[in-house]
Amino acid sequence: MKSNFKIIALKALEECDSNFTKVLEKEKLYYFYSDYEIIINNDGREEIKIKKEIVDGIFNDNEIKNDVNINICAIVGKNGSGKSSIIELLFRAINNIAYNFKFESGIPKKTITADLKIVDGIHVEFYYKTDKFYKVIVNESNFEVFSFNTNGLVNEKSEESKFDLSKLFYTEAVNYSHYAYNSFEFGFIKNGVFVNWLKELFHKNDSYQTPLVLNPMRTEGNFDINRENDLVKQRLLANILRPTQKGKIDFRKFGDNLKADTLILKLKPKKEKVSYWIKDSKGEDVERFFKLGAFTIKEKDDLVNTLMFELHGISNIKLGLSKKIKYDLARQYIVYKLVSICKKYDDYKQYLLPKHYKFDTSLFKEFIKQIKEDDSHITFKLKQTLNYLKNDFINLSNEEIELNVEELSKNIQKRKKRNQSILELIPPPIFDIEIVLKPIEELDKIIKFSSLSSGEKQQIYMVSSLLYHLYNLDSVTGNKIKYENINIIFEEVELYFHPQMQKSFIKYFLDSISRIELKKIKSINICFVTHSPFILSDIPSNNIMFLEVIDGKAIQKKENLKKTFGANIHELLTDSFFMTDGFIGDFAKDKIDETINWLNTELLKKREFEKKETSERYNVNKEDFKFHKGIISLIDEPIIKIKLSDILSELDDNDEFHDDIINEQIENLKKRLKKK
């Protein structure tokens, strides 16, 4: 059977820690796709039934060559309805499964090098579909896998030791909320020691073996926006500089109209010092600086030459006088990066003598070996700079140069070794790089990437980063785990996005995936955890988990569901999952209620006054009248505005405000008729 990957349902078992389940009901299945039903049949066997005919393939692009099935689902509900709890249970379960595949020398299936930790108290069961249906039961460090036959009936369980992790799925989760995935909140104390299990799931440096990665990278709950921008820009550049072939992937296109055309490179100022932080005697963070002037020119040259020889077999690099600026900047950056790595990363701290501003010569060979073997984000800027010196294909005649993307890509491909990351060959960080875009329909017009809005940048960065990971996942070689099914989770994707961008996001993402030639990846499941009705309009209601809290428990609404696919956004907003008390802002509603109460009170006073036999006229407080008249004039909803102005006119017969409102509405209607 062709792979058609979906995560069908999940439930927390009775033994599951209540701190994890929160409002979720234990022993209750929550369905991502409600077309399926999991039952115990008359023979006492578990069975997965299809409740009605499923329309598969609606998210596939029939015009592209790759044979990847795509499914999209969503979880929706008010804040506190259990959306995040469901996703977090899945993450804890996957983490504990992956723990069983931590690297052991000589065991082919144990290839995960991340230092994963078991999450105690997690007891979860989930079902998913690839080429067949699977059920996975996770009880802390133990797990069981059951497959179902073609009739949907459960088979005997697979032995844990024989389960191939590639039969599971690889999850890429994206959540840019500042309050998400704080390792301090997710960790726990065990035997007096804090267990920070979440930390290892932010790392992407194990050749895509751990089946779950969280984006963006966070340290103690925080993500460094400058580091994140730098990292995603590097991936974006790597994508742009990949070779393009007719009929295949074109990473240079952004949407239907923009294409990367040129890179503008400007020299950055020379790095003179490395900043780092230490704890003072009071435990406070204090910034310190390591001045690079502590190294002599000869010491810097020796460092560069040693690295060039060990990594590239080049000794005593010599450049002409015209390239002296290039060499000086590159040499200074290499020294800066070596010191920075030692100051910032625990694995490298032993190589720098803290009191002497020098590297430990007795450990230097070990230091270089570790750098050579480190393919993570820690070393790629260093390797970019060394490759820049080695390849010498950027003509640095001025402090600012312009490079054609296509020509630079060809130069890189000529020099790229097999299995070498393209990240190591893009222009190094001695340059500030500006990406210049051109509209495909207006080639004489240019748009600098830096001039795009934050929402446009976020969309391009996020999608480019995911395409980068999909491309790499599809390229895993050797004896490593090769995942054929990819699960992408977008949590609160609407952050940064204007409603128009929310409305177009699914199409934009699917169009972007369609440009990738995937050979090993067979199926992709995309799950949106969202509050956005604009996202839901692109997803069938059977693919949406509607959650609401009743009597303190999260209930999945399954009956009388509002149709969502192709639904009018306004109609979706009227659903109780979004609005329960109208569409007027609460502050404006309070002000209108205040005016209504004042009008009612004044009318009662006036009528009581008129019952008296007197020739005097009832006089309303002028300041109050003026204030509430102003409130009514601000109201945009015509029926409310006309009705309230009519009541206001009863308090002052001489005021023409109501007539003005009527005339205004007549003119508006005339204008609308003319447009038709």
**Same domain (yes/no): 161, 22:** yes
Q: What is the DSSP string of 599-633?
A: HHHHHHHHHHHHTS--SPPP---HHHHHHHHHHHH
Question: Which amino acid, one-letter code, is at 449?
Answer: F
**Same domain (yes/no): 81, 212:** yes
Question: Which amino acid, one-letter code, is at 399?
Answer: E
For residue 311, give Cα distances in angstroms to 297, 345, 379.
Answer: 21, 21, 12
Q: Residue 583 has what pLDDT?
A: 66
Place of tokens 């969202």: 530
Determine the Cα angle at 12 with ends 6 and 13, to 5°: 125
Q: Residue 291 has what pLDDT?
A: 84
Residue 159's pLDDT band (boundaries 50, 70, 90)?
Answer: low
Helices and strands per DSSP (H, E), number in the chain: 17, 26
Residue 18's pLDDT band (boundaries 50, 70, 90)?
Answer: very high
Check: CB of residue 417 under 8 Å from CB of residue 430.
no
Residue 283's pLDDT band (boundaries 50, 70, 90)?
Answer: low
Lowest mean pLDDT among 115-119, 269-273, 320-324: 320-324
Q: Residue 121 has what pLDDT?
A: 95
Check: CB of residue 333 under 8 Å from CB of residue 267.
no
Comparing CA positions, the residue from 478, 469, 441, 374 lying closest to residue 108 is: 478
Q: Residue 662 has what pLDDT?
A: 83
Q: Phi and psi of 557, rounded to 5°?
A: -75, 125
**Same domain (yes/no): 428, 399:** yes
Place of tokens 């077309």: 35
Lowest mean pLDDT among 95-104, 251-260, 302-311, 615-624: 251-260
Stronger pLDDT, 201 or 516, i.e. the higher one: 201
What CA–CA distance (Å, rounded) separates 211 from 481? 9
The strand pair at 544-550 and 69-77 is best described as parallel
Q: Residue 577 has what pLDDT?
A: 54
pLDDT at residue 242 greater than cutoff 90: no
Stronger pLDDT, 653 or 468, i.e. the higher one: 468
Q: Residue 512 has what pLDDT?
A: 83
**Which DSSP letter does residue 222 get?**
B
Stronger pLDDT, 101 or 613, i.e. the higher one: 101
The strand pair at 123-129 and 69-77 is best described as unpaired
Which residue range(s) make up the domain with 273? 258-439
What CA–CA distance (Å, rounded) separates 338 from 354? 14
Flag whether 241 is in a domain: no
Residue 382's pLDDT band (boundaries 50, 70, 90)?
Answer: very high
Q: Residue 489 has what pLDDT?
A: 96
Both tokens assigned to 549: 């809290």
For residue 447, give Cα distances in angstroms to 299, 435, 670.
Answer: 44, 9, 42
Place of tokens 């595949």: 101
125: CB partners within 8 A, 6+ apart: 10, 11, 13, 135, 136, 137, 138
Flag whether 503 is in a domain: yes
Q: Residue 654 has what pLDDT?
A: 67
pLDDT (mean) for 480-502: 88
pLDDT (mean) for 372-381: 80
Comparing CA positions, the residue from 458, 453, 469 lying closest to residue 513 is: 469
**Same domain (yes/no): 666, 606:** yes
Rounded (10°) CA dihedral 551, 554, 555, 557: 120
Stronger pLDDT, 235 or 594, i.e. the higher one: 594
Check: CB of residue 603 under 8 Å from CB of residue 595.
no
- What kind and span of H or E run contains 88? helix 83-99
pLDDT at residue 134 greater than cutoff 90: yes
Percent pLDDT > 90 in the chain is 25
Q: Coil, strand, or helix at residue 236?
A: helix
Flag whether 280 is in a domain: yes
pLDDT (mean) for 322-347: 83
What CA–CA distance (Å, rounded) separates 255 from 242? 18
pLDDT (mean) for 68-72: 93
**Same domain (yes/no): 40, 174:** yes
Specify the number of domains making up the chain: 3
Lowest mean pLDDT among 138-147, 440-449, 575-584: 575-584
Residue 447's pLDDT band (boundaries 50, 70, 90)?
Answer: confident
Q: Residue 62 has what pLDDT?
A: 58
**Same domain (yes/no): 145, 35:** yes
Flag whether 207 is in a domain: yes
Which residue, 573, 596, 629, sits at the end of a domain?
573
Comparing CA positions, the residue from 673, 630, 622 lying closest to residue 651 is: 622
Q: Phi and psi of 338, rounded to 5°?
A: -60, -45
**Same domain (yes/no): 71, 184:** yes
| 38-52, 463-477, 518-532: range with highest mean pLDDT | 518-532
**Same domain (yes/no): 555, 636:** no
- The strand pairing partners of 72, in sequence order, are 526
pLDDT at residue 1 greater than cutoff 80: no
Flag whether 240 is in a domain: no
Q: Residue 95 has what pLDDT?
A: 95
Instruction: HSE, CB side, 13 Å, CA atoms: give it for residue 590.
Output: 3
Q: Residue 569 has what pLDDT?
A: 66
Stronger pLDDT, 54 or 31, i.e. the higher one: 31
Check: CB of residue 274 under 8 Å from CB of residue 343.
yes
Check: CB of residue 649 under 8 Å from CB of residue 620.
no
Which residue, 522, 542, 573, sits at the end of a domain?
573
What CA–CA distance (Å, rounded) separates 97 from 113? 14
**Same domain (yes/no): 147, 59:** yes
Q: Which string of b and e fits 553-570 if b means at least 16 CB within 10 Å?
A: ebbbbeeeebebeebeee
Check: CB of residue 294 under 8 Å from CB of residue 426.
no
Residue range 475-484, pLDDT digits in tens: 777 778 899 9
Which residue, 395, 421, 439, sits at the end of a domain?
439
Q: Residue 142 has what pLDDT?
A: 93
What CA–CA distance (Å, rounded) separates 150 from 498? 45
Residue range 45-69, pLDDT digits in tens: 899 998 876 777 788 875 555 678 9
The strand pair at 36-40 and 447-448 is best described as unpaired
Residue range 402-420, pLDDT digits in tens: 899 999 888 888 888 877 7
pLDDT at residue 204 greater than cutoff 70: no
Q: Residue 248 has what pLDDT?
A: 58
What CA–CA distance (Å, rounded) separates 90 from 412? 41
Flag whether 168 is in a domain: yes
**Same domain (yes/no): 418, 282:** yes
**Same domain (yes/no): 407, 476:** no
Q: Residue 318 has what pLDDT?
A: 63
Check: CB of residue 150 under 8 Å from CB of residue 158.
no
**Same domain (yes/no): 274, 167:** no
Comparing CA positions, the residue from 553, 537, 581, 536 lying closest to residue 545 is: 536
pLDDT (mean) for 395-401: 72
Q: Residue 573 has what pLDDT?
A: 62
Comparing CA positions, the residue from 500, 431, 493, 439 lying closest to residue 466 is: 493
pLDDT at residue 558 greater than cutoff 60: yes
Q: What is the pTM of this model?
A: 0.77
Average pLDDT over the chain, rounded to whole?
Answer: 84
Q: How far is C-alpha 226 from the geometric centre of its chain's CA atoms?
A: 16
